Amino acid sequence: MLEFQNVFFQYAQEEQVMMENFNFSVDNGDFISIIGKSGCGKSTIFRLINGLESPQKGQILIDGKPIQQIKQYSAFMPQKDLLFPWNTIEKNICLPMELQKVPKKEQQKKCYEVLKEIGLLEYANKYPRELSGGMKQRISFARTLLAGAEMLLLDEPFSALDYLTRVDMQEWLLQQWLHFHKTILFITHDVEEAIFLSKFVFIIKDSPFCCMEKIQVPLQYPRKREDLKKVDIVELKEQLIKKLRQ
């Protein structure tokens, strides 16, 4: 679904190249996580996919077509929920559809359908200040879904949540992925989170980097929190931490 081909990228204000002949691909429907040290280029990959930055060389393809020729191929969910406090939850969720000039009745129908699916239908007329942190992130995810893209880019969406809420959100996110069949790229600093969620974990180790090490997580879906205690998973966690420290 997604492919980077020999991408070269360097920020204008930086002396050092970030990516050099970078190659990377993701299959349709996969859930992958990208891990690496702060500043290594994880978020830059998302900016390149979104078209917020352009590579100096190489190309980025979606289903074999350059991203410059495609619209609405990806949707982005950042660390903060970015909900407008003066809008109701319904209006916040409908914003992507409003920008796409979707008819009002269809907006409301889709909004209520997704709110029902994520278990927050009764909050349609509430305001963000009336919701917990976990609820806000669920609403933010719902809004990302209704952007109409098949690929979702989630940049540390649970990093600001307390531990128990974060655990709940990880389990909830897996349920949504299995239900909606989207392709998800997930950035995290949490190795355990990456293992629990992902089919594959990609590691950025070099600077500049031309590739990422790809590791398959040996767990089937659906997953349980107890799976993290399995011997091979504990060993995998230690291996990933060691690779990040190298």
* pLDDT at position 63: 93
Question: Tell me, what CATH number does 241's domain have?
Answer: 3.40.50.300
* pLDDT at position 79: 82
Those residues with Cβ within 8 angstroms of residue 225's Cβ, 6 or more apart along the chain or in another chain = 167, 171, 196
- Whether residues 144 and 95 share a domain: the answer is yes
Average pLDDT taken over every residue of the chain: 92
Confidence check: pLDDT of 117 > 90: no
- Whether residues 142 and 169 share a domain: the answer is no
In angstroms, the CA 24 to CA 202 distance is 10
- Whether residues 101 and 189 share a domain: the answer is no
Print the domain residue range for 164: 2-73+149-245
Look up the pTM and report it: 0.91
In angstroms, the CA 92 to CA 129 distance is 13
In angstroms, the CA 67 to CA 49 distance is 8
Tens digits of residue pLDDT in 6-42: 999 999 888 889 999 999 999 999 999 999 988 888 9
Tens digits of residue pLDDT in 164-222: 989 999 999 999 999 889 999 999 999 999 999 999 999 998 888 888 999 999 999 99
Tens digits of residue pLDDT in 36-59: 988 888 999 999 999 899 999 999
Residue 78 lies in a domain: no
Residue 80 lies in a domain: no
In angstroms, the CA 206 to CA 230 distance is 30
Q: Tally the domains of the chain.
A: 2
* pLDDT at position 75: 92
Smallest Cα–Cα separation from 128: which of 86, 78, 185, 74?
A: 86
Among 131, 148, 165, the domain-final residue is 148
Residue 81 lies in a domain: no
- Whether residues 54 and 92 share a domain: the answer is no
